[in-house]
Structure 1
Amino acid sequence: MMTFTPPFARGRRLALFTSAGIAALAISTPAFAQEVETNEEGQLEAAETPTNAIVVTGSRIASPTVESPAPLQVVDAQVIDDAGVTNIQEVLLENPVFGTPGLSRTNSAFLTSGTGVATVDLRDLGSDRTLVLINGRRVVGSIAGSATVDLNVIPTQFIDRIDILTGGASSLYGSDAIAGVVNFVYKENFEGIEANAQYGITEEGDDARYQANITAGTNLSGGDGNIMVHFGYSNEKGLLSNSRANTRVDDLDSIYFGGEFGEPTEPYYSSFPPQGRFVTSNGTFTYDPNGNLQDCFTTNGPTCTATIGSGTGPNGFNRQDFRTLAVPVERYLFAARGNYALSDNISLFAEGTFNKTTSSRIIEPFPLESGGANGIFPTDGGFNIENYLPGTSTIVANPFVPAEILAAATDSNGDGLRDIGFARRLSEFGGRTGSTTRDFYRFVVGLEGGLFDDKFSWDISYNYGDVSENQVSSGQVNVINFRDALAVRSEVGDENGNGIAGEAICIDPEARANGCAPANIFGAGSMSQDAVNYIQAQGTYQTGITQQVVQANLSGSLFELPAGSVGIAVGAEYRKESSFSDNDALTNAGLNAGNVLPDTSGSFDVKEAYGEIRVPVLADTPFFEILEVGAAARVSDYSTVGTTFSWNVTGTWAPVDDLRFRATYAKAVRAPNVGELFSGLSQTFPSGLTDPCEGIGATGGGALGDNCRADPGVAANIAANGTFTLNQSDIQGISGFNGGNPDLQEETATSFTAGVILNPRSFDALRNLTITADYYDIEVEDVISGFPRQFSLDQCYGQGNATFCDLITRRPTATAVNSAGSIDLINSLSVNASVLKTSGVDVTATWFTGLGLLDNDRLSLRGAYTHILEYDFFSLPGGDADRADGEVGTSKDRFTANLAYGTGDFRMSFTGTFIGSAYIDDQFDGSRVYEIPAEFYLDMQTTFFAGDTYEFYLGVDNLLDNDAPNILSGVTGNVTGSDTAADVYDVFGRRYYAGVRLNF
């Protein structure tokens, strides 16, 4: 039977350094200590361990003190319990040091991979620049080609605490720690059984969430060892756009029509309707809601002028009826830890984690058109409604084509056959769906012990991780089969031998032999199931990622100085990572009416060695209670980029017991990952680009005009039109390829942090108050990225930079669809060229006291605040800055605050999260004009300690039921289907949960 500590007591023990639901660092933050206790005066101290030493995240030196020279925040188990979350990402994202997640339930429905993945990134510097650890060791990534860790693999209820180190830490932990480290520390040496079950649902009765967890542990051989295991299950059911009033109908921001920003223009349907839109030289045709043909089309208007039919509208399609706001995610988790003393100085340890995550998505049925880069007939855009009988010069008409459309059609491409253009929503195929399963395996085994009467501690370990993903998607088409199914004629007799003469059949005999069924695209629901079966293409996507790490560490006291021990740590590490991603053959070739996506595979290995030293200079002298300096360095030898070097220097000064100053200066690195190095050329179709040459004439325009006219296609266009002229197909027909670069080098970052910690222990009224304030400044150089395509255009033609001109391909002559000189391709390959800068201030505060209103009561207040001073991206060093500070997702001001009151019988907690006002990205409107108001979310939970072994709790998230601000379709920051920045603001509304915890 375990010795049960009531949650109230557990909270007291960690009160000094938990903060705001996202615990903030107080004076000191233990990272790997087995236990942390408060002394009789409520102050933090290290518990006794075999060596009377602990290791703090941000240093690898074991020390009897628990101070950190770098800004460090901690989330403890009480904070996680108070939040009532299913996925730990939800807790972390309340912390203002974290930026907008790259992947989450609310921004991954439209992705070709990564659906349902949960990530975090410190300082908004990107998930690949945030190093995620479990118990101080690396975790294999879950996104092919990337180091990005999916937090779905973290068993929430198995976490003892989370250490959050901000600032460059590559010298201590290696590549990827440019923004900092998030270290998940699992429970250990646990005895007994701890279980919980929870159910939650929104006020609208959707997105139900279930979770159940159990942790069990026992000692072995009279205390020589311990083993503990954890089993967990969670299920978040998901949310569709049609479940909320503000997202049920397609809309567009009214700003596009001269209206107010944030006001929806509804409906703003898609022009790809299920009944089809058919374009001829003599008019456009569609079908009204009653299935009657009309020779006019209006996407959103109520009527259109028709000669045939009634001209009823709108004829567009409401995509929102199919879209997903939050994808469903189901998880199975297993985790285990164990240790056993082999002798007085050597112990065996092991840990393992297994996770299976499944997720799915649905979006609107596929929109298909005859022309365009992804159309069925991309060359000339024409769908022949007449064809030659095989082997003859006899022309036959497609029997599905209505007589009115046949009469209006002409031969637009000169092949002697009448053709039309069409656009159609493939509703017969159903919504586009995707089902994803990810399996995560990780185990660590090693030895640890002490040397020289425990003056030094050592460990050696092997860490293996493996992630596999299998994804199956539907709703796509086989373009080749679709072309065959559109080439249709009537039988001459009973050619298919089914006893019915004169049926519509596919013209190509070979296609018929392969099962071709004729496709009737005229009218809603007109396509037969046989045609759907022949045309539809199931998409598949598989990935595999492996990571192997062997590392050894030694730390301890080198010798004594008058001010204390000189601590050192040294170590070595070998790491190998490999990754592959494999799409189906149609996707590889771009023959499923989608973009060309290549397969990618690659690997790298790295050998590393590091050293760290900490020197106490003065102690216990006037104005120098503590003066300590430290340094660390790491050298790494990569198979890809060669040798890299990172280092840091630190300083800590406490003039008196109650006041402490700290500073860190670091050089950090991030080596390119497999995807950045080895990914092939994947196709994309960028929007919103402006061709600098548009409107240029035969003379004038300065250097811009000369650069434009130097292109033969542009010159031909000017000669034909007087000025360089583009049509709508030219604007929408720009394609390009993104790709990796095997010649990439590492990113390098300089980070500086300086802070102060105030804990006025000399004053009784304030002895439980701790305030920290830290300034940070991070500059990342040689940033790995592709140049923005508009930037490439402007550099090529505005500046005459030939390097950027090499990325652009223009059409030399006109086609049936596109103009001469129009842009065909703008490629964007990964390079080391850009610069990223950010700076700001973090402030945290914690305070607790007994009020005496009830027996053994306690009131606690905690807060964490971040103010961003600067966040600038420079495509080229010395170029113009693209500011992000103060824009949506990077609000200048954010804070989280927590108020809790409780006794041994109950605990009530309120957590408020503030997101400051923000502007829409100035790349959208050219200036900061459109402002999104500030948002405040309030959560609460009440826990009842009904007995020594069980407790009940209930909570409400978004207690005030705040709606997300309108960031509508077409506006930068909008997450498709959500009418807001769904990865920044709450899209669920008020939601409730209740649960029970048992301890035996």
Structure 2
Amino acid sequence: MVQEMCAGSHADMPRNGGGRSFRLGMVSLLALCAPLAAPLAAAQQPAGPSGAEPMQALDEIVVTGTRISGFTAPTPLTSVGAVEMQDRGVSTVSDLLRDVPQLKVNQNIGKSSEPIGASNADLRGLGTQRTLVLMNGNRVGATDPAGTIDTNIVPVALIRNVEIVTGGASAAYGSDAVAGVVNFVLDKTFQGAKADISYGVTDYGDFRRPKASVAVGHGFLDGKLHATLAADFLHNSGQTSQAERPWGRNRTVQLTNAAYTPTNGQPRLLIVENGVFSQMTPGGVVGLQGGRNTLAQSLAAQLGFAPGTGVQFGPNGQPLPFEYGTNVGGTYMQGGNGYQVIDGGNLLPEIERKSGYGRVSFEVSDDITLFADMLYSEVQAESDLAANPDTGTLTIRNDNAFLDGSVRAAMASLGLTSIPFGRINLEDGNSIFQTTTKARRWSFGAEGILAGNWTWSATGQITRNTYDQAALNNRIAQRWTYGIDSVINPATGQPICRVLLNNPNPTAARDPYGDIRGCIPINPFGAGSITQQAQAYYHGTSTTFAEMRQEVYAANISGSPFTTWAGPVSVAAGAEYRTEKTVQTSDANSAASRWRSINAQPFSGKYHVKEGYAEVVVPLADGAAFANKLDLNGAARYTDYSTSGTVWAWKIGGNYEPVADVRFRGTLSRDIRAPNNYELFSRGNQVINQIIDPRTNIGRQTTQITGGNPDLLPEKADTYSVGVVYQPGWLSGFRASFDYYNIKVKDAISVISAQDIVNFCFRGQSVFCSGVTQTNDIITRVNIIPFNANSQKVAGQDLEMEYNFPLEMAGADGDMRLRLLVNHADKLATTANGVTNDYVGLAGISPPPQGVPEWRVNLNVSYSFDDWKLGVGYRYISGGKIDTRFNRTVLDIADNRIDGINYFDANIAWDATANVTIYGSVENLTNEAPPITPNGIVQPTIANSPFFDNRGRFWVIGARARF
């Protein structure tokens, strides 16, 4: 909830243990808000919801976004708490955060170049790198070499609430808090024991999700010593067949319009059903030449096939007619008798999560507490993509050892020495991608009270995260090329690799990997024609391993040095030293870029950061005639990066209450993001995706390589927000807030998309042509590096309303809770190379870019009575465009619109005993289908948007107990 620092959804806020009334400090940033919160807590506090912890007076609140205790910060804050988790029966962080309109949780469902199954938080659509993730106020270390954070590592069993600062917060927390902060608050003083077990499944019987969690906590030595332990287990079976859904059975693809010309008014791109490969079959097919099928048709005519057909290869390599459909593109066409793997496109990956957390604290005296905790999390994910493809990119010579004699004769009649050839190599099996992410995090420190009202803390944190990826059923490209090019050995009359015949005794220098010496001829003609011996020659597994090390040491002090006519002036100050190191290794073939896909390059990068900050709150009025309350808040942070020098972040804001019921708030800040190790030092990340050649309007699967740039500098963002909070004394339990936000990022660390690089190159901007590699006028590779050249702007409004009140219904006394969250996005614009694109309303073709809906609405209503709790949820996501860049002059598509979707959820809980609750929930009650927005890969995902549900109606039943 967008809330005051010392007000809000108090049922979700943690409470202290051992009688302590503070937990301020660099790590947890707890506030002395009890005096301010008590009246609101009393007004809003409902009876304990079914299955939830009993409501009690609030005496400790985690505060995110300020270092000052007892202060109502001017920065908007949204909170999602344990009550919401229990009501909905959620088991993952991504499920929990789905209902926050300002936030999207990006989950990779199967792109081989990205961490499979990772759920990354992204505020305002500015990208995951610009959202700072904290746990108990501590910065969370990267979980993959690209520097992003998989929120799956957070131990769900102890999440007390999640606080989301929906605006810049670098002055308080440092780099990355450009769009805001997501802080996972764990229950550090949990007392007793609790367990939760549940099972979820879709209407279709897939995506099965068993989950269990347990936590215990106890105080010893009269509460001076406290220990907490928790463990989680979850397994999502995933779903890698979109054809299991009615909306996914139409083989929908995006392809180029064969009728398009720059002057005829036709769209360049189409989204059509019944898509099949235009240049691939399991047995092989003669490919397109120059993007056209004229060569294949001429060859078919020589073989006596019907006019207009091409040539494919059936059992034993026998040539057969290949019927073309319409709109024949480089990868797909509509109709015809080509093969397809669209049905097996991914919905969700398989994920298994195990985590454990332990914490111990000891009160040395009334003024000093020592603490230490440890987190271990292991997340395993698996997904698949189509078997190794060749979209017409192979060359078959007329003397190929396995080529049917009739085809050889037809080639001779046409004067052809070679033909293009395509094949989907089902013998290889699906490409399987497995990742294991391990997070190990230790923190320790001390905190206490100095003389008077001053508090202090000193903390340390050590993180050792590892990322391990294996790509099974990969292919060594050079060996595949050598094996395909076979001839008859005149000495034996048997097939032999041409390269081996020409180089019977290659030197080690010429053949360092044994590609020539061990070459096995490959027969590509006919389904199942590739032998196991040949597969053993070119087939294998590529691997990547990375370790991300982070260490943070900090000291913090806060208090009030003096008091003015309006109240005490509060200050906080502190210093921090942080190191970040990433070391990535890979197998030898990857390091030499020999695999068809992935080819992760080894790299090592390290930097350190020294920071100091100060914050002050100055009250200017309290109970005055012109202002019930008026205060100003200012903060500044000086940061010195070993890689890019010094930079300042600052914030100034204030609160003005003309009367007790109304508070106006506003902030202005300069926020920063420094480049991470991957952006600075990486040596190349490979992805294969469709690139449309603007000269021919033909799309082909093309290798794209993104590397680092050591000359990158920190980004700078200017943010301002203004808003009003209304909490009427005459309507107990009601609260509303409205805020406007505007963020402008300068010198944004960005990459120009591979498609834009190609477009710019062939439109006369030759500086981009150095990144484009061609073979025979066909684009085969695009190189990309990040740079400080873009600017980004976001703007919009947030609305929140909450009302808690008692309600008698059907003779039962109960409590009703209503909560409304609304986000309206005005702008999400990126300017690159002088061209500005606004991505508000962009729905699906990704990446890049990824946009945000114009409107997101979330309404939750719950009613508690006796031993029961009932809840209903409503979500609305507005429609928009498949791609906001598409128009009639640059990138055009026939039908660029998608419709908005209304979702309904429901939940129920029953207290079977005083300690045991049985609960159930259903999400997407009406089983709404997602918008159809296929991407351009070989096995396209039909529904791409991270905002819409592609799982379908999902049922959960479970039980939880607390003692």
Q: Give 1:313-462 correspondences, 5 Å limit.
A: 314-368=336-390, 371=393, 382-386=395-399, 398=401, 400-410=402-412, 418-453=417-452, 455-462=453-460
1:187 paired residue number? 187
What is the CA-CA distance between 1:872 and the residue it aligns to?
A: 1.3
**Which residue, 776, 782, 785 being the options, matches 2:747?**
782
Match of 1:705 in 2: none
For 1:659, the equivalent position in structure 2 comes to 662
Equivalence for 2:63: 56
1:89: which partner in 2?
94
Secondary structure (helix, strand or coil) at the match of 2:796 reads strand
Letter in 1 for 2:885: Q
Q: 1:827 to 1:482 in 2, by over 3 A?
A: closer
Give the Å deviation of 1:269: 3.4
* Alignment partner, residue 78 of structure 1: 83
Deviation at 1:155, TM superposition (A): 1.4
Unaligned stretches of 5+ residues in structure 1: 1-13, 24-28, 304-312, 376-381, 387-396, 496-501, 695-725, 812-816
Question: Given the superposition, is the C-alpha separation of residues 531 and 301 from structure 1 closer, same or farther in structure 2, using an over 3 Å criterion?
Answer: farther
Please name the residue that 1:296 is paired with: 321
| Aligned partner of residue 476 in structure 1, secondary structure | strand
2:776 paired with 1:818: yes
Alpha-carbon offset, residue 823 of structure 1: 6.6
How far off its partner does 1:383 sit? 3.0
1:146-161 alignment, distance < 5 Å = 146=147, 148-161=148-161
Indicate if the aligned counterparts of 2:252 and 2:271 stay in contact, CA closer than 8 A: no
Query: Within 2, Cα distance between the matches of 1:155 and 1:200?
Result: 19
Query: Match for residue 700 of structure 1?
Result: none
Match of 1:955 among 918, 921, 942: 921
Alpha-carbon distance in 2 for matches of 1:867, 1:20 = 27
The one-letter code matched in structure 2 to 1:741 is: N
User: 1:733/1:614 Cα in 2 relative to 1: closer, same or farther (>3 Å)?
Assistant: closer
Residues 1:237 and 1:789: Cα distance change in structure 2 (over 3 Å):
closer
Match of 2:905 in 1: 939
Deviation at 1:573, TM superposition (A): 0.2
Q: Structure 1 residue 338: deviation in Å?
A: 1.8
Q: Compared with structure 1, are the counterparts of its residues 419 and 131 closer, same or farther at alpha carbon in structure 2 (3 Å cutoff)?
A: same
The 1:300/1:590 distance shift into structure 2, 3 A limit, reads farther
Structure 1 Cα separation of the partners of residues 732 and 785 of structure 2: 56
Q: How does 1:93-172 map to 2 (within 5 A)?
A: 93-99=98-104, 101=105, 103-104=106-107, 107-146=108-147, 148-172=148-172
> Quick one: distance in 1 between partners of 2:626 and 2:418?
89
The residue identity in structure 2 corresponding to 1:934 is G
CA shift digits 1:171-223 (9 cap, x unpaired): 11000000011111100221211001000100011100110000001102121
**CA pair 345-41 structure 1, distance change in 2 beyond 3 A:** closer
1:600 aligns with 2:603: yes
Assess, with a 3 A threshold, how the Cα gap between structure 1 residues 272 and 751 changes in structure 2: closer, same or farther: same
Deviations 1:44-83, CA, capped at 9 Å, x for gaps: 799999xx886621111122x5x22110111111011112
Within the candidate set 527, 530, 547, 1:527 is matched to 530
- Say yes or no: does 1:914 pair with 2:876: yes
Is the contact made by 1:70 and 1:165 (CA closer than 8 Å) also made in structure 2? yes
* 1:721-800 equivalent positions in 2, closer than 5 A: 732=700, 737-761=705-729, 763=730, 766-788=731-753
What is the identity, as a one-letter code, of the residue corresponding to 2:881?
Y
Q: Provide the rounded CA distance (Å) in 2 between the counterparts of 1:135 and 1:407.
A: 74
Q: Report what 1:310 is aligned to.
A: none
For 2:913 and 2:863, how far apart are their aligned partners in 1? 19
1:477 aligns with 2:479: no
| d(CA) in 2 for partners of 1:824, 1:608 | 45
Contact kept? 1:167, 1:751, Cα under 8 Å: yes
Distance 1:963 1:322, change over 3 A: closer
Contact 1:891 1:915 in 2 (8 A): yes
Kindly indicate whether residue 795 of structure 2 is the aligned counterpart of residue 839 of structure 1.
yes
State the Cα distance separating 1:362 from its structure 2 match: 1.1
Displacement of 1:89 in angstroms is: 1.2
In the other structure, the counterpart of 1:229 is: 229
Q: Does residue 869 in structure 1 map to residue 871 in structure 2?
A: no
Q: Which moves more between the two structures, 781-790 or 433-442?
A: 781-790
Deviation at 1:829, TM superposition (A): 2.2
Give the conservation status (yes or no) of the 8 Å contact 1:542–1:581: yes
Change (3 A) 1:569 1:211: same
- Report the equivalent of 2:852: 890
Distance across 2 between alignment mates of 1:915 and 1:647 = 35
Kindly state the Cα deviation for residue 689 of structure 1 after the two structures are TM-superposed.
4.7
Q: Any conservation in 1 of the 2:597–2:687 contact (CA below 8 Å)?
A: no
Residue in structure 2 matching 1:859, options 797, 801, 816: 816
Per-residue CA shift, 1:638-667, capped at 9, x if unaligned?
A: 001100101001101111111111111100
Between stretches 585-594 and 81-90, larger displacement belongs to 585-594
- Provide TM-score, normalisation by structure 1: 0.82
> What letter is aligned with 1:202?
T
1:840–1:259 Cα change, 3 Å: closer
Corresponding letter in the other structure for 1:872: A
2:665 match: secondary structure: strand
Partner of 1:547: 550
In structure 1, the residue matched to 2:331 is none
TM-superposed deviation, 1:246 = 2.8
Q: Distance in 2 between matches of 1:686 and 1:590?
A: 17
C-alpha RMSD of matched pairs (Å): 3.5
What secondary structure does 2:886 align onto?
helix
What is the distance in 1 between the residues matched to 2:668 and 2:413? 71
- How far the C-alpha of 1:291 sits from its partner, in A, is 6.7
1:901 to 858, 863, 873: 863
Q: Tell me the amino acid that sits aligned with residue 114 of structure 1.
A: P
| More divergent stretch after superposition (278-287 vs 467-476) | 278-287
Query: What SS does the corresponding residue of 1:481 show, helix, strand or coil?
Result: helix
In 2: Cα distance, 1:129 partner to 1:199 partner: 35
Higher strand share: 2
Structure 1 partner of 2:944:
981
Task: Report the Cα distance in structure 2 between the residues aligned to 1:412 and 1:689, rounded to whole angstroms.
Answer: 30
Q: Is the 8 A contact 2:169 2:177 kept in 1?
A: yes
Write the distance in 1 (CA, Å) between the matches of 2:368 and 2:515. Answer: 73
Aligned to 2:9: 18
The residue type paired with residue 383 of structure 1 is I
Pair 1:528–1:220, CA change in 2 (3 A): same
**1:340 Cα deviation after fit:** 0.4
Note the alpha carbon deviations across 1:784-819, whole angstroms, 9 max, x for none.
112345655676776x767x35745687xxxxx624
Distance 2:770 2:73 in 1: 48
2:291 match: none
More displaced 10-residue stretch of structure 1: 602-611 or 898-907: 898-907
Pair 505,200 (structure 1): closer, same or farther in 2 beyond 3 Å: same
8 Å Cα contact 2:667/2:722 also seen in 1 = yes
CA pair 806-431 structure 1, distance change in 2 beyond 3 A: closer
- Equivalent pair of 1:201/1:207 in contact (CA under 8 Å): yes
Which moved further from structure 2: 14-23 or 78-87?
A: 14-23
Native 8 Å contact 1:98 1:124 kept in 2: yes
CA–CA distance in structure 1, aligned partners of residues 255 and 475 of structure 2: 34
User: Is 592-601 or 846-855 further displaced after alignment?
Assistant: 592-601
Q: State the AA in 1 paired with 2:480.
A: F
Q: Does the aligned pair in 2 maintain the 1:862–1:898 contact within 8 Å?
A: yes
Tell me, yes or no, if the aligned pair for 1:109 and 1:115 is still in contact at 8 Å: yes
Q: Distance in 1 between matches of 2:351 and 2:547?
A: 20
Write the letter of the residue equivalent to 2:655: T
Q: 1:978: how far off?
A: 3.4
TM superposition shift of 1:443: 1.1
**Gapped regions of structure 2 (runs ≥ 5):** 15-23, 46-54, 259-265, 288-294, 301-309, 329-334, 506-513, 844-850
Q: Choose the corresponding residue for 2:299, options 283, 300, 306.
A: 283
3-state DSSP class of the match of 2:956? Answer: strand
The answer on whether the counterparts of 2:279 and 2:286 sit within 8 Å (CA) in structure 1 is no
Task: Count how many residue pairs are aligned between Structure 1 and Structure 2.
Answer: 881
Structure 1 window deviating more from structure 2 (927-936 vs 405-414): it is 405-414
Deviating more after overlay: 659-668 vs 880-889: 880-889
The 1:84/1:412 distance shift into structure 2, 3 A limit, reads: farther
Q: Which amino acid aligns with 1:331?
A: R
